[in-house]
Structure 1
Amino acid sequence: MAPEGFATLGDHLRHRRILLGLTLDAAGAAVGVDGKKFSHWERLSVRRPRGCNWSAVTTFLGYDPRLAA
């Protein structure tokens, strides 16, 4: 189940990364990008960043944030 109250994909990603105790590099590796790119995604206010493997992101989160409202 998706947590409530998150406005952006970055909010979801940051919450999950911290919950799992992962570094930016480890979280990035889990979705197929480097830590710098993952950090960039965490700060974005868009729903789906360019170069995003959406399947990997939803697997990492455990849900699709587009459906969480």
Structure 2
Amino acid sequence: MNPEAFKTFIIKKKGFIPEPQTLGEHLRNRRLVLGLRQEDVAEQFGTLREVYERWERDEREPVVSEWPGILSFLGYYPAPEKSVADLVLKARRCQGADQKRLANSIGVIHQQLRRWEHGSEIPDQNAMHCLVRMARLPGACP
């Protein structure tokens, strides 16, 4: 068996999920592909192994400030983006910002941003442009 086929066999045996649906499944797949232990990934994120394990098991959602590191590790955004509300959440996660901080950087009050994130209002064209720019993955913006 050639080395690449062996690696593929091992990854599948350890529980690689071909079409991951949850953040935990995306994290586990990436870790397996890289051949890392949970301890290694937790150390990269500056968190405890137990916390990382809960992310992988989808028992705990990372706080927004932890998302830039997660996105950098994955190399992509793991959630569907079907609505403006999803775009707002993606922008907050990419920036590692709470609602107040992201609202300040766009130039609106945080209550306005909250309404966008809950889908009860739609941002104007200028705000939408800012959100799209801020929803890029870490390192994608100058």
Give me the TM-score of the superposition, normalised by structure 2.
0.40
Q: Is the 8 A contact 2:55 2:62 kept in 1?
A: no
Aligned Cα root-mean-square deviation (Å) = 2.1
Structure 1 unmatched ranges of 5 or more? none
Please tell me whether Structure 1 or Structure 2 has the larger radius of gyration of its CA atoms.
Answer: 2
The 1:37–1:45 alpha-carbon spacing in structure 2 relative to 1, beyond 3 Å, is: closer
- How many aligned residue pairs are there? 63
Q: Structure 2: 5+ residue runs without aligned partners?
A: 1-17, 82-142
Partner of 1:20: 34
Distance in 1 between residues matched to 2:53 and 2:74, nearest whole Å: 15
Residue by residue over 1:12-50, the C-alpha shift from the partner in whole angstroms, topping out at 9 and shown as x without a partner, is: 00000111111111111112212111111100167xx14
Residues 17-56 of structure 1 correspond to what in structure 2 (within 5 A)?
Answer: 17-44=31-58, 49-51=61-63, 53-56=66-69
Q: Percent same amino acid at aligned positions?
A: 33
4+ runs deviating over 4 angstroms: none
Q: Is the 8 A contact 1:31 1:56 kept in 2?
A: yes
